[in-house]
Structure 1
Amino acid sequence: MSIQILQYEFLGPIKLSEWGPPMEKVVYLILSRQKDFFKIIYADDCEQTSDEKFFINHPSFKCWNNSALEKSLHLAILPMFESGNEERKRISDLIIARYHPICNEEVKEVKPDYKIRQKSDTQKISCPCCGSEMKVDQVLEKSTIIRCTECGISDTRLNS
């Protein structure tokens, strides 16, 4: 049996409880069976595993069980024996972008595209407008508001 996701033909789905190792260089999907169709609830790739408890010990297992009855959890795999990590990651990212699996949303770690500067008591902050010194105006729970002593412009800094 097979299932087509995007233009890829996945093997399965089989009940997750029937899976047995090994598994090597695959993109895998965790599916929830809902009457006559399967819903993708998690997508990822795997380099290699021989651990029988790979899925039970997975950080998202709790989400999978919350999203479906354990008996309705299924697995589909796309073997990619000649692939590299980047190719498998690209395919799993395409599936995530298209189907928005609920359990990928919870685990997704977003890395910021900014850097937090270390706070220094001796560092003087110059106003970007007039060059004068900026002083602390208000300290909030997660940020600090600073204000220029000359022109009054304000800025917000994250507390570290």
Structure 2
Amino acid sequence: MSIQILQYEFLGPIPLKEWGPPMEKLVYLILSRDKDKFNIIYIGDCEKTEDKAFFEQNPNYKCWVEKSGSEKSLYLAILPLFESSAEKRQNVFSKILTHYKPLCNAADIPETKPDYVVRSSESTDSEKISCLCCGAEMKPEKVLEKSTLFRCTGCGLSDTKINS
């Protein structure tokens, strides 16, 4: 049996209690079963383990049980990457983490910042508007019914402000 996550084909899912060592060079998912649906609640990677208690000793184990409702609802899916580097496993880990944002990986999810800047509304009469590109002063070029078009005196960039 297998499960497709993004473009990766994971083996499983199998009940977590049925897992047995060894495990080597893989990315794993902890899933919570909800009737006929599986939800990803944790993602991790493993270099190598022979420890039968590998999952129970994970610091997030309590979170897994809490989010799934019981230990019986916990399932495991693995993506073997035997010939891969730690960097490749980390790349797969990051893609899945970013896309699915598993609840028990909250500390691992990077805070995303927008690639734009929100400026506060400025009065065109009392405050000067600086160009985001070069920092020069922007002058009003055209006043419309609900907005004003500004043009930079330095680089020529234009910007529109809503009239208040």
Instruction: Quote the Cα distance in structure 2 between the aligned partners of 1:22 and 1:89.
Output: 20
Instruction: Quote the Cα distance in structure 2 between the aligned partners of 1:9 and 1:109.
Output: 22
Partner of 2:76: 75
Partner of 1:30: 30
Q: How is 1:13-92 mapped onto 2 (pairs within 5 angstroms)?
A: 13-68=13-68, 69-92=70-93
Instruction: Quote the Cα distance in structure 2 between the aligned partners of 1:71 and 1:109.
Output: 27
Instruction: Quote the Cα distance in structure 1 between the aligned partners of 2:94 and 2:43.
Output: 8
TM-score by length of 1: 0.66
* SS of aligned partner of 1:66: helix
Partner of 1:133: none
Partner of 1:8: 8
Residues 39-85 of structure 1, C-alpha deviation per residue, up to 9 Å, x if partnerless?
Answer: 00001111000000000000110100110121010000000000011
Q: Percent identity of the aligned residues?
A: 61
Partner of 1:131: none
Consecutive aligned runs of 4 or more in structure 1 exceeding 6 Å deviation:
none
Partner of 1:102: 103
* SS of aligned partner of 2:33: strand
Q: Which runs of 5+ in 2 are unaligned?
A: 111-164
Instruction: Quote the Cα distance in structure 2 between the aligned partners of 1:85 and 1:44.
Output: 12
TM-score by length of 2: 0.65
Residue 109 of structure 1 deviates from its aligned partner by 8.2
Instruction: Quote the Cα distance in structure 2 between the aligned partners of 1:12 and 1:21.
Output: 15
**For the Cα contact (< 8 Å) 1:27–1:92, is it kept in 2?**
yes
**For the Cα contact (< 8 Å) 1:44–1:89, is it kept in 2?**
no
Residue 108 of structure 1 deviates from its aligned partner by 2.6
Residue 5 of structure 1 deviates from its aligned partner by 0.3
* SS of aligned partner of 1:33: strand
C-alpha distance 10-109 of structure 1, shift in aligned 2 (>3 A): closer
Instruction: Quote the Cα distance in structure 2 between the aligned partners of 1:49 and 1:109.
Output: 25
